[in-house]
Amino acid sequence: MKDQPDASAVYKPSDDFVANAHVDAGAYAKMYAASVADPDAFWAEHGQRIDWIQPFTKVKNTNFEFGKVDIKWFEDGTLNVSANCIDRHMITRANQTAIIWEPDDPKTPALHITYAKLLEETSRMANVLKSVGVKKGDRVVIYLPMIPEAAYAMLACARIGAIHSIVFAGFSPDALANRINDCDAKVVITADYAPRGGKKTPLKDNTDKALLHCSDRVKCLVVKHTGDQIHWIADRDIDLRQQMDWAKPYCPYVEMGAEDPLFILYTSGSTGKPKGVVHTSGGYLVYASMTQQLTFDYHDGDVFWCTADVGWVTGHSYIIYGPLANGATTLMFEGVPTFPDAGRFWEVCAKHKVSQFYTAPTAIRSLMGLGPEWVEKHDLSSLKVLGSVGEPINPEAWNWYNTHVGKGTRPIVDTFWQTETGGHMLTPLPGAIPAKPGSATLPFFGVKPVVLDPATAKVHDEVETEGVLCIADSWPGQMRTLWGDHERFQEAYFAQYKGYYFTGDGCRRDADGYYWITGRVDDVINVSGHRMGTAEVESALVAHEKVAEAAVVGYPHDIKGQGIYAYVTLMKGVEPSDALRKELEAFVRQEIGPIAKPDLIQWAPGLPKTRSGKIMRRILRKIAENDFGSLGDTSTLADPSVVDDLIENRMNRH
């Protein structure tokens, strides 16, 4: 058994931390009550945290009724998001670093981009976009590595009112083409190559392949980043850096309505065909900036590092829009956690004196497997707050993060949210809400979580309960629609539980009112009438010292209704055996109870994951059901070859 935190343990921030925090326990209680009692008054006040051109007079105008879903915030206000992230800081922060750029290769010097420089580069790029005919409302697809140009591109689009849609640089030509076509983009911005972990992805080549399936009118702006040779199509391709050098260093910003779209972002595709989530300007920025400041307790002078890629919503809200709207210093990292060695994250924290560090459980688990010595080598004394996002963090990984990275003294914020929500929904505020390992704790301001019975759709009023997680009322960061398909939007999020936004996730609420995400509702299994979240069984398996990672799904079982099928990846050097299989069964039985004992355990050298590191359980379900003929959309899979191995060695061959 690895060392485990006490399941009932509560971790409180230190008195010093609380004394300096933006929000303490008393303030949280008061503000939360106000935010749900009178959202109009609450958000009228907090809507002032950004700069408006025309101030809003209306605050909330939202309807969750199926068939009439309509979400508007600050609807008559006007603003420009790029001006909020750059221009408004020019008087006080022109020479402050806005973005620290840490390249893939640690031998390449890092860049410190000031707000003044950010204004100049963003303006130059905006002028290039204008010169190729991009206008307000046009779509621009961004397919770039984690380089400063990605930030300039986002802010340049926002500046001229174009709608960006970022496609993660690890995606294939097909995935890129689908997204360019779905949003009917006028321009794609790419680079020659994306260096990551010492390897190079041929982005331009991928874009060339993608554009074979798109309209001839799509222009291709290319950043020559590595300088390697690329194929060039004279009428279509434009050297972006060269054009930026020639462009004017200032571009005025356009006045946008609060409800004008800022970006489209396709979800990661863990559960099905990616959906084009639309976020608008005013409400999104208010929510992203407020959550960045309060969830991480960001203070002036801090260095904020979110390790996500800008291709995910986490990168949008917590590398770019939230921090920059707050005048923060945000770190952008081109590389991976294990290059040139498994200490890279911690080396970067020490090098740039990172104050807040925000990453995903998948990264923590993989680093945990490589040993704590990689962390111990580096000076992590600058860290104040640690964050987690993307999936439930199993207590095992929480404990490792707390002990080795946080040295047992830094608050950990486990933030539950979605591409659809724009910003954090359930999260501790570090000076206000004590943490419990594995719980996303309590709602952020304005968020009204409800737990419903999945079968009857009845709201569970009692504090201690379990069911599906819905949200009863709108918050400013909420998505407004799916691009070009408002009907699918309503079907996906408002049809199942009438009057509520349905998250798709299951949860438990404990006696203290804390929320524990138990995984996607699709992932709940029903064994002999007992409902169980797959996350729980996975956590039990991962707690075993020989297990590195586990994924659990249900499969049809003659007697129990559903049986438990576990895919288990063993620690480096551990050999699979029938004895170990028995040992794991007994271990889960002892940890959770006889009902949770896996019926089938398959040794899995690798698990099918999305590019964002999430396990695609729908594929594992198909294999467990012995129905692998149609695996559905696998275009967002990081390594498709693991699927063949799993099919080959499947355990259920009825």
Q: Is 195 in the site for ligand ATP (CB under 6 A)?
A: no
Report yes or no: 114 and 95 within 8 Å, Cβ to Cβ: yes
DSSP state of 284: H
- Smallest gap from Cβ 458 to ligand ATP, in A, equals 22
Which CA distances in Å does 566 have to 541, 604, 617? 9, 9, 11
* HEC sequence for 75-88: CCCEECHHHHHCHH
* Among the listed residues 39, 195, 257, 269, the single contact to ligand ATP using CB under 6 A: 269
Question: Is residue 270 a contact point for ligand ATP (CB under 6 A)?
Answer: yes
Whether residue 486 is annotated as binding a ligand: the answer is no
236 is in an annotated binding site: no
Q: Which two tokens stand for residue 243?
A: 């054009």
201 neighbors 344 (Cβ within 8 angstroms) = no
Q: Please check if 419 is assigned to a binding site.
A: yes
Choice from 97, 355, 394, 415 touching ligand ATP (CB under 6 A): 415
Instruction: Name which of 7 and 579 has its Cβ closer to ligand ATP.
Output: 7
CB of 389 to ligand ATP, least distance (A): 5
| Three-state secondary-structure class, residue 183 | coil
Question: Considering the rule CB under 6 A, would residue 419 count as an interface residue with ligand ATP?
Answer: yes
Element (H, E) at 127: helix 115-131
Cis link prior to 340 (omega < 30° from 0)?
yes
Smallest separation, CB 436 to ligand ATP (Å): 13
What is the closest distance, in whole angstroms, from the C-beta atom of residue 512 to ligand ATP in the complex? 17
Answer for which of 396, 505, 536, 599 binds ligand ATP (CB under 6 A) is 505
Among 122, 271, 281, 289, binds ligand ATP (CB under 6 A): 271
Phi/psi at 605 (5° precision) = -60, -30
Least Å from the CB of residue 415 to ligand ATP: 5
Considering only CA atoms, which of 625, 512, 498, 399 is closest in space to residue 65? 498
Handedness of CA 101, 337, 171, 484 (dihedral sign): negative
What is the contact mask toward ligand ATP in residues 376 to 395, using x (rule: CB under 6 A)?
Answer: -------------xxxx---
| Coil, helix or strand at residue 271 | coil
Rg (alpha carbons) of the chain, rounded to whole number: 24
Residues in 437-466 that interact with ligand ATP by CB under 6 A: 440
Residue 227, CA distances (Å) to 204, 223, 230, 375 in order: 12, 9, 9, 34
Residue 542 annotated as lining a ligand binding site: yes
Q: Of the ranges 64-72, 84-92, 262-270, 401-409, which one interacts with ligand ATP (CB under 6 A)?
A: 262-270
- 3-state class (DSSP) for residue 5: coil
* CA nearest to 278, candidates 292, 291, 290, 260: 260
Closest to ligand ATP by CB, 192 or 309: 309
**CA geometry: angle at 274 spanning 273 and 276, to 5°?**
135
Confirm or reject binding of residue 274 to ligand ATP (CB under 6 A): yes
SS3 letters for 38-76?
CHHHHHHHHHHHCCCCECCCCCEEEECCCCCCEEEECCC
- Identity at 545, one-letter amino acid code: E
**Can you read off the two tokens belonging to residue 85?**
């992230």
Count, residues in the chain: 654
Nearest-angstrom CA–CA distance, 515 and 327: 32
Q: How far is the CB of 499 from ligand ATP (least distance, A)?
A: 20
- Structure tokens of 189? 């911005």
CA dihedral 579, 581, 582, 584 (to 10 degrees): 120
Q: Smallest distance, Å, CB 30 to ligand ATP?
A: 25
Binding site annotation covers 417?
A: yes
Q: What does the per-residue mask of binding to ligand ATP show for 516-545, with x meaning CB under 6 A? A: -x--x-------------------------
Q: How far is the CB of 266 from ligand ATP (least distance, A)?
A: 8
For 597, other C-beta atoms within 10 Å of its C-beta total 19
The count of other CB atoms within 10 Å of the CB of residue 109 is 9
207 assigned to a ligand binding site = no
| Residue with smallest beta-carbon separation from ligand ATP | 267
Q: Which position among 504, 506, 554, 598 is part of the footprint of ligand ATP (CB under 6 A)? A: 504
**How many chain residues touch ligand ATP (CB under 6 A)?**
23
Asked whether position 337 contacts ligand ATP by CB under 6 A, the answer is no
x/- binding map, residues 154-193, to ligand ATP, per CB under 6 A? ----------------------------------------
Q: Which of residues 587-646 bind ligand ATP (CB under 6 A)?
A: 614
Is there binding between residue 507 and ligand ATP (CB under 6 A)?
no
**By CB under 6 A, residue 201 contacts ligand ATP:** no
Q: Is residue 520 part of an annotated ligand binding site?
A: yes
Annotated binding site for Mg(2+): 542, 544, 547
Per CB under 6 A, residues contacting ligand ATP are 267-271, 274, 389-392, 414-419, 440, 503-505, 517, 520, 614
Annotated binding site: 196-199, 314, 390-392, 414-419, 505, 520, 528, 531, 542, 544, 547, 589
Annotated binding site for CoA: 196-199, 314, 528, 589
